[in-house]
A = this chain, B = another copy of it.
Amino acid sequence: MTNTQVTLVQIDNYGPWTVTPEPRREVDLQTLQSRLYADLSQLFGNREGYVFFTRFDNMIAVTNGLDHEAHALVQESVRNRYPVTVSLGTGVDPSPAVALGDATTVVQNGGSAQDADRREVLDGAVLAAADRADDDVQLAHFDVNDATGKYTDRLNEFDTFINIEQGYAALMRYMRQEHDSLSFFVGGDNIISVCPALGEAEYRDAIDAVYEEVGVELKVGVGRSRTAQGAGMAAKHALERCREEGTTVEFD
């Protein structure tokens, strides 16, 4: 069984801020968002967590091993360096979707995402040190078979992107509906899914389902560990084995 700790990061009152007193320059918003994401990647990553950019104003992180104090430090570091603040809600569950649901509820209970008075919520369940196990987190790292040869080197970049995007959209829905998993596009032709304790058959079915729906061929490496960092690196090594051996699903 997995036991995933999920954190929802939500910028406080961001929508209104972007247009007050009048619309801010898009290049500055893009810079702000992507740098905030980069900083959170490092802040969570230095504690073996993963954060996904999702919608940028709302980001989802896997944070096994980070207690409230570590979260508070992330929150403080953002406040000290950005013109915006962030709320953080946490949740823990064998099902990543349930954990995220709990994390989201924590933030929503603090007020609306566009509530000018809600600032820096920090609450929710964290996985106690005593309850942690070496297989708490399962991550699956998917990529598209020969994306460079089939798409990047052949189509115009937007049409390549449409193909990759359709593969991602199909996978994200399938994994959410069938397996309570949270799947994130991480650039190029790569997708990382935060999963419960799924086996080879489930991944094979997911890959088949995506191929049937949109014609995009995926392969996947799966890793399991105490933290997102450990599981993610194990998944990458497993995916390398897919590449070397021409296989479709590999577990580390």
Contacts and interface: CB of A to CB of B under 8 A. Distances in A.
Contacts of A47: 46
Kindly report how many copies of this chain are found in the complex they form together.
4
A54 interface: yes
Contacts of A161: 54-55, 58
Interface in A137-168: 148, 152-162, 164-166
B83 A25 contact: no
Contact of A55 (B8, B38, B108, B164): B164
Contact of A187 (B43, B55, B112, B162): B55
B80 A24 contact: yes
A14 B143 CA distance: 14
Interface in A39-89: 39, 41-47, 50-51, 53-58, 60, 76-77, 79-83
B114 A26 contact: no
A34 interface: yes
Which of A31, A77, A79 has the most chain B CB atoms inside 10 A of its CB?
Answer: A31
A249 interface: no
Contacts of A112: 148, 153
Interface in A222-238: 229, 232-233, 236-237
A107 to B, nearest CB: 8
Complex A-B, nearest 3 residue pairs according to Cβ-Cβ distance, in ascending order: A27-B45, A56-B187, A23-B236
Interface of A: 8, 10, 14-15, 18-19, 22-35, 37-39, 41-47, 50-51, 53-58, 60, 76-77, 79-83, 97, 100-101, 103-105, 108, 112-114, 148, 152-162, 164-166, 169, 172-173, 176, 182, 186-189, 192, 229, 232-233, 236-237, 239-240
